Amino acid sequence: MERLRVAGVERPEDLGARLEDVGYLADKGLATAAFLALRMGRPLFLEGEAGVGKTSLARALAEVASAELIRLQCYEGLDSAQALYDWDAVEALERDLYDRRFLVARPLLRALETSPAVLLVDEVDRADDEFEAFLLEVLGDFTITVPELGTVSAAVAPLVVLTSNRTREVHDALKRRCLYHWLDHPSYEREVAIIRRRLPAATEQLARDVARATGVLRTQDLLKPPGVAESLDWAEALTALGARALDPDSAARTLGAVLKYREDQERVRALGTAALVP
């Protein structure tokens, strides 16, 4: 079975540069993990707090590879039928025929039939143990059997990216099948660069202030510490208000862009938004 190839990517540095071209700033460790997943044809298992860029990496890899991004959102109770395929039962029964025309492809089947493809198995930690075992089987040879039609195999194996927010431990058997990388919140300088890259209208000073303030928020005992997505929302909200830097008043007025729980906002207001501003 062929593997997904990206023209011109021969080293991790090449992939890092290509990711940067599409707006994703990966550090050396992440660029290396993604490169090896491509080169070795192995799924990439990304674990870390919500909002650190796991899902965004899958999107960026699909863009770099000119591949279709196919997303399987996991949740409690997800089963193989919901992930693989279903029949348009009315059409099939009316015609007394199970034909490929009446097969409704779900994400896993679509990923096998689409080339090139990046399959994002998002928040796999929310699925049940039984689904994990099924997923492991599919990832083994990228082949499934539809009893009414026969075997479906991928001509070109999709690049598979699995993400986990670590709400529970994923079984070792699935992790052993994958290359593993832990994503932490970006460094201060990298977060500034991300804000500037994604929001060119934001001033350098505002980007630095938001990155510094977001870092302070992550040290607090919050229900949901802000991730990169929230720092971008905050910078965008402040830019929309015409702010060129962060001050206690603008921070207080825009907390809803960075903190999405009332309890977290109350905790920060009690601390005082002046603590967020240098």
Q: What is the pLDDT of residues 152-163, one digit of tens each?
A: 889 999 999 999
141 and 7 in one domain? yes
177 and 195 in one domain? no
159: nearest Cα among 25, 74, 39? 39
123 and 255 in one domain? no
65 and 147 in one domain? yes
Q: What value does the mean pLDDT of the chain take?
A: 92
SS (H, E, C) 58-84: HHHHHHHCCCEEEEEECCCCCCHHHHH
Q: Which of 183, 212, 237 is the last residue of a domain?
A: 183
pTM: 0.88
175 and 196 in one domain? no
Domain of 157, CATH number, reads 3.40.50.300
> Could you tell me how many residues make up the chain?
278
pLDDT at 81: 84
Domain range for 245: 188-276
Q: Which of 153, 183, 213 is the last residue of a domain?
A: 183
Q: What is the pLDDT of residues 95-110, one digit of tens each?
A: 556 666 778 889 999 9
| Domain count for the chain | 2
